[in-house]
Structure 1
Amino acid sequence: MHVPADLRESEREALDHIRYHPTTHHADWDAVILMLKRLANVELSHAGNVAVVRMGDERLELAKPRSGPLPERDVLKIRRMLGTAGLLG
């Protein structure tokens, strides 16, 4: 799978953040969810605080942080999913 050429700047920045930055850097929930919506099937809960991400055979459930950036464990999960799909190479 290849990264779509028509990703918006904010979506590409979120992808680059997941790809290149240390997991301790801030990854914004809204930016990451918008990026994932372009690359995967994303279902948000009614309140928008839980996202179920499906890409190929993989499924990932993410909870929106109460405050601040995505936790390191979620960044690592997203990074693994995108890597498995060939989007980080």
Structure 2
Amino acid sequence: VGIFQCDSWALYSSQALELAPGVVSRVIHSNMMCEMGGQFITALNLGIFLALYRQILQDGDFLGAEWLVKVDPDTVWAPARLQHYL
């Protein structure tokens, strides 16, 4: 279960972190902190996502993929189930 079952994957963070042997996060050169607010007091994190997708575009690893999924670290996710519907 999780992103490691995908044909290709990448992890992004504000610093390079070795999460397991051979599993290192890619760096986003941006402040990862955001304010809370808006009508529903949610994370105002548009700037973080823009920085993430700029880095994804720059890395270009997605170019051979048919689809791209952003998954949060606390998501329980089964790629094979999603792939069935795509």
More helix by share: 1
TM-score normalized by structure 1? 0.33
> Which has the higher Rg, Structure 1 or Structure 2?
2
